[in-house]
Amino acid sequence: MAPVTEPFPISNVAGRYLLFDVDVISHVRRNHNICGVLIGTIPNLSQQNVFLGIPLQLMPEEARVLVEQGHAYIFDDAQAHMQGFFGMSRKDRLEFLRMMDERGQQRARDVRRKAEERSEKALREKGLLQARTEQKESEALVAEGDPGTDAGGSLFGSTPQLPANRRVADKKLAPHFITPTTSYPPLAPPSQPSTLALPEVPRQYPIYRYMQSKGYFAMPGLRFGCHYSIYPGDPLRFHSHFLTTGLGWDEEFELLDIVGGGRLGTSVKKTYLIGAEEPEKEEGEEGKVRAFSIEWAGM
């Protein structure tokens, strides 16, 4: 994994916070307890739901905590692309187009080569490959012995005809049109933090920030009826320990919700946890966020 320089950029695309760099994705998971959710998919396999790839989408809470701690900054991806492409010199644009043409030509050659290999394999399985080879050799001999030509060239100034297979092979292949999968290059990555506002976060953000600061990992907890599933380590290695719900400091709640959360947590071998932030205390002051764990006894 290549070293990551902080602060690193987080792309804001249509209100979503995305990471496109594999090294950055590994970095935030290893060092900042940020998992996110991979959402990349193949256009013609849009229904696939396992083994998704980059980009990694961050929850607003994850993006905000990274910015507040000074590890990252957020930039408007669309605006950065517009400025980057319009700011490119003509030389750079032509060089990029030339590079894309070369990639398209190489792709066309690869496609033709694979088609020929499939054709030969099919003929070999049917026992027709030898007959086709003999036919090509016969056509080549006929072309070499064409009475309209001699060793000195064409008798009447006409161009000698090549065998059919040679004429097809010598045609210039039309390049494939390649859609780049990354913008850097040709664009340079944004180097200056933008002035975008911090991500808007839900009211349960304080409990998320509190648990993240204690070294826990957090994942969405919708399937357990809570805000977050809290893990003591990487979710690939550990089961979650807490089902967490964030509340307002003076928010009223039903006692039955606490009873139900405690019973549910105990039945799935987890602890139900609720917490809130006291608004009167200063940021960073001890006890600003209070958390309570609830376990159903006697089960």
DSSP per-residue codes, 257-287: HHHHHHHHHHHTT-EEEEEEE-TTSPTT-TT
Contacts made by residues 172-179, CB under 8 angstroms, sequence distance 24+: 173/105, 173/108, 173/109, 173/112, 174/108, 175/101, 175/104, 175/105, 175/107, 175/108, 176/104, 176/107, 176/108, 176/111, 177/104, 178/100, 178/103, 178/104, 178/107
- Cα 159 to Cα 149: distance, rounded to the nearest angstrom: 9
Share the mean pLDDT of the chain.
81
Asked if 269 is an active-site residue, the reply is: no
- Cα 17 to Cα 57: distance, rounded to the nearest angstrom: 6
Q: Does residue 246 form part of some domain?
A: yes
Overall number of domains in the chain: 3
The CATH number covering residue 57 comes to 3.40.1170
Q: Does residue 212 form part of some domain?
A: yes
Q: Domain boundary at 68, 88, 108, which?
A: 88
Among 45-54, 157-166, 177-186, 262-271, where is mean pLDDT lowest? 157-166
Asked if 208 is an active-site residue, the reply is: no
Residue 292 structural domain: 202-299
Whether residue 10 is found in the same domain as residue 97: no
Q: Does residue 187 form part of some domain?
A: no
- Cα 75 to Cα 25: distance, rounded to the nearest angstrom: 17
Q: Which of 152, 30, 25, 13 is nearest to 79 (CA)?
A: 13
Q: Domain boundary at 88, 104, 121, which?
A: 88
- Spot the catalytic one: 231, 269, 272, 288: 231
- Spot the catalytic one: 239, 241, 269, 281: 239
Whether residue 288 is found in the same domain as residue 208: yes
Degrees to nearest 5, angle at CA 133 with 127 and 137:
155
- Cα 101 to Cα 106: distance, rounded to the nearest angstrom: 9
The CATH number covering residue 274 comes to 3.40.1350.10
Q: Does residue 189 form part of some domain?
A: no
Average pLDDT of the residues in 58-75:
93
Whether residue 112 is found in the same domain as residue 145: yes
Whether residue 8 is found in the same domain as residue 28: yes
Asked whether the predicted pLDDT for residue 155 surpasses 60, the reply is: no
- Grade residue 228 by pLDDT with cuts at 50, 70 and 90: very high
Q: Does residue 207 form part of some domain?
A: yes
- Spot the catalytic one: 27, 71, 241, 270: 270
Average pLDDT of the residues in 273-289:
80
Query: Phi and psi dihedrals of 25, rounded to 5?
Result: -60, -45
Q: Does residue 151 form part of some domain?
A: yes
4 vs 165, higher pLDDT: 4
- Grade residue 168 by pLDDT with cuts at 50, 70 and 90: very low
Asked if 81 is an active-site residue, the reply is: no
Among 14-23, 46-55, 198-207, 248-257, where is mean pLDDT lowest? 46-55
Asked whether the predicted pLDDT for residue 153 surpasses 60, the reply is: no
Whether residue 16 is found in the same domain as residue 80: yes
Q: Does residue 188 form part of some domain?
A: no
Whether residue 218 is found in the same domain as residue 231: yes
**Whole-model pTM over 0.85:** no
141: which 2 tokens?
């001999």
